A and B are shown apart, each in its own frame.
Chain A
Amino acid sequence: MQPPADSQTRSAPNSRSPKALLAAAKTNVELWANLLIIGWALGFMLWKGVGFAIAIGTVFAIWAILTVSLNLVVGYTGLLSVGHVGFFGIGAYTVAILTSRAEYEQLRTEAIPTFGWPFFAALPVGVLLAGVIAVAVGVVFNRFRDDIYVLVSFGFAIISFNVFLNWRGLTRGAFGIHEIPRPAVGGWVLDGELEFLVFALAILGVIVLLSWLIVTSSFGRVLTAIREDEQAIAVFGYQTTHYKLAVWTISAMMAGLAGGLFAGWTSFVDPNSFILLESMLLVAIVILGGLATIWGSLLGAMAFVLLEEGMRFLPFLPAIHVGQARLVVLGILLVLLMVFRPQGLVGRYKL
């Protein structure tokens, strides 16, 4: 990993003259990326109205929890995991199974155990389960590094997808689980979109705060050191496997939380939400935003959601192709970014 090429431009505003400031601003990709995406978001909101913005905001919050948490592993610790979606799915399915009453079921052969728990009782279980599975998986993953690590995490994503799809006695397989109740506290149900948005953003806020505390702590510095030179940090007596396992588990629990939130929001989960491709997208967004920067992950998630939703309104693009087209666009963006700005929009490090 190389120091960023634009460290010059970053320090340039120190020169006082307005001309120099302007010149520095012109070449400051980071500034432009921020302005563009935030401006885009605001413009979109004004154009499509508040209702649309609320829906997009919730999607953003869920994706942002995923990207911020994944960045802890990929960006800060340097473990390129493409299995994050597995934990997202574990959280979502746990909440779905624990809360769903399955009264809608017509086909009793597909009956699954139902519990009818309240959302807020199921959510911690989902988070915890993601954590427990992360510990078990992480112990194995710790034996690997670099490209092999990518492969085993790839394997985890595939296995978890297949479990969601094929363990029909638990997940109803491809039918998915419906009628997941909205979160409710006592009699107060978060059934409004705005209420859910506030709830999701609040959780995102907690995740961002937690991540910030982690990366600015001495624990976070050890993670950075592991990313840069695991062997060197090991000779100072750090048991790097413990650190890696810890951050991996924390990150997985955050993904599980996002999953629970997702289940509560869409009130429907099926295996298609947790395919490997989603994991790839997540990694792409993290790289796009910038490795080892929380703000970059937020910005990346925002750009992605805007791109995805924005493409619905392209006049020449039939609605049914939007799904595929977003992948093409994201792919092209990623290639361009890797060529011209390998550290991502606001990142410091290259992969």
Chain B
Amino acid sequence: MDMPPETTETQNPGQRPGPGEAGAVAVDGPILALSGISVRYGAVVALDNVSLGVRRGEVVAVMGPNGAGKSTVLKAIMGLAPVVAGEVLWRRERLAAATHEIVKEGIAFVPQGRRVFTHLTIEENLEMGCLHLKDKAEKQRRLDGVMRIFPILQSKRGDMASAMSGGQQQMLALGRGLMAAPDVLLLDEPTLGLAPIVVGEVFDKVSEISETLKTTIMVVEHNIKGVLDIVDRAYVLDKGRVVFTGTPKSVRESNILTEIFLGKSGAS
């Protein structure tokens, strides 16, 4: 079983990326990048020397089976994971370590499982997304902007978030992330636990955000089919390592996903 060339190259992360998609990242310079990041939870190695990045305006997916370290990638960026080696680069410079400083830099994180505040109204939930924004007019402008993208939030703005369905809560979580007017939006499993019809809606909204707001997006997903339709590039992680990088087309054409999802990773 032959590995595609990209696979073999990214199997040795830390080396210069080879030609192709990964090489293009280096030329353009990613706005946000992980460089040789290793994360360890006790004895468990969650990420092992992972390097990946996202360019301005790009939508990038981080995929892989359960336990591959997908979510840890985002947590490492947000300063929420114990990074033991490597660094996170933001506009070519080392990113701050404290979460509140990272947020100020213009990176918003939409955590897994929606995590909306059920005892606050939808509008209050959204306002939680833009801390330190004292300018009322700007806040209103952002609210209006989010409501335009998610009309459902407009119609229910005074309702408690607990009264919403899972899909609506996910829209709220996305909207709350956008309230920070971020340059980069990090989405952790935005379709987790949603009905198939809603999954499509969420992906459509992610595309819409990318197109209308030009927000750079890094999305961690287990839902491979859906996410490959909306991204520019994808990283495939397995056992804490990047095992493939490429366009959605190259991911589909390679058999990498079949291999790692069927447990034939064999690369060690």
Q: Please tell me which stretch of B65-73, B112-120, B208-216 contacts chain A, meaning at least 4 of its Cβ atoms lie within 8 angstroms of it.
A: B112-120
**B117: A residues at CB distance < 8 A:** 224-225, 228-229, 232-233
Tier of interface size on chain A: 20 to 34
* A235-B78 in contact given A222-B128, A225-B128, A228-B118 (Cβ < 8 Å): yes
**A218: B residues at CB distance < 8 A:** 127
How long is the Cα–Cα vector from A237 to B80 in the complex, in angstroms?
Answer: 12
Q: Please tell me which stretch of B19-27, B40-48, B97-105, B220-228 contacts chain A, meaning at least 4 of its Cβ atoms lie within 8 angstroms of it.
A: B97-105
Residue contact B131 to A232, C-beta cutoff 8 Å: no
Residue contact A233 to B99, C-beta cutoff 8 Å: no
Residue contact A229 to B115, C-beta cutoff 8 Å: yes
Residue contact B78 to A348, C-beta cutoff 8 Å: no
**B118: A residues at CB distance < 8 A:** 3, 228
Q: Mark B173-194, 1 if CB is under 8 A from A, else 0.
A: 0001000100000000000000
- Asked if B90 lies at the interface with its beta carbon under 8 angstroms from chain A, I say no
Give residues of chain A (208-225) contacting chain B, Cβ–Cβ below 8 Å: 218, 221-222, 224-225
- Asked if A238 lies at the interface with its beta carbon under 8 angstroms from chain B, I say yes
**A224: B residues at CB distance < 8 A:** 117, 119-120
Give residues of chain B (112-166) contacting chain A, Cβ–Cβ below 8 Å: 115, 117-120, 124, 127-129, 131-132, 160, 162
Residue from A232, A348, A349 within 8 A of B111 (CB atoms): A232
Distance between B32 CB and nearest chain A CB, rounded to angstroms: 16
**B103: A residues at CB distance < 8 A:** 235-237
How long is the Cα–Cα vector from A138 to B115 in the complex, in angstroms?
Answer: 27
Distance between A57 CB and nearest chain B CB, rounded to angstroms: 33
How long is the Cα–Cα vector from A235 to B75 in the complex, in angstroms?
Answer: 10
Residue contact A237 to B99, C-beta cutoff 8 Å: yes
How long is the Cα–Cα vector from A1 to B118 in the complex, in angstroms?
Answer: 9
- Asked if A266 lies at the interface with its beta carbon under 8 angstroms from chain B, I say no
- For B132, the closest partner residue in chain A by CB is A237
* A235-B127 in contact given A228-B119, A229-B117 (Cβ < 8 Å): no
How long is the Cα–Cα vector from A222 to B119 in the complex, in angstroms?
Answer: 11
Residue contact B128 to A237, C-beta cutoff 8 Å: no
- For A218, the closest partner residue in chain B by CB is B127
- Asked if B244 lies at the interface with its beta carbon under 8 angstroms from chain A, I say no
Residue contact B131 to A237, C-beta cutoff 8 Å: yes
Residue from B99, B132, B162 within 8 A of A235 (CB atoms): B99
**B132: A residues at CB distance < 8 A:** 237
Residue contact B120 to A235, C-beta cutoff 8 Å: no
How long is the Cα–Cα vector from A270 to B35 in the complex, in angstroms?
Answer: 63
Residue contact B131 to A238, C-beta cutoff 8 Å: yes
- Asked if A239 lies at the interface with its beta carbon under 8 angstroms from chain B, I say yes
- Asked if A234 lies at the interface with its beta carbon under 8 angstroms from chain B, I say yes
**B115: A residues at CB distance < 8 A:** 229, 231-232
**B128: A residues at CB distance < 8 A:** 221-222, 225, 233, 236
Give residues of chain A (223-267) contacting chain B, Cβ–Cβ below 8 Å: 224-225, 228-229, 231-239
**A228: B residues at CB distance < 8 A:** 117-120
Which residues on A are within 8 Å of B, measured CB to CB? 1, 3, 218, 221-222, 224-225, 228-229, 231-239, 292, 348-349
Write 26 A-B pairs (CB below 8 A) sorted by A numbering.
A1-B119, A3-B119, A3-B160, A218-B127, A221-B120, A221-B124, A221-B128, A224-B117, A225-B120, A231-B80, A231-B111, A231-B115, A232-B115, A233-B128, A234-B100, A236-B108, A236-B128, A236-B129, A236-B131, A236-B176, A236-B180, A237-B102, A237-B131, A237-B132, A292-B119, A349-B119
3 smallest CB-CB distances across A and B, nearest first, come from: A237-B103, A232-B115, A237-B100
Which residues on B are within 8 Å of A, measured CB to CB? 78, 80, 99-104, 108-109, 111, 115, 117-120, 124, 127-129, 131-132, 160, 162, 176, 180
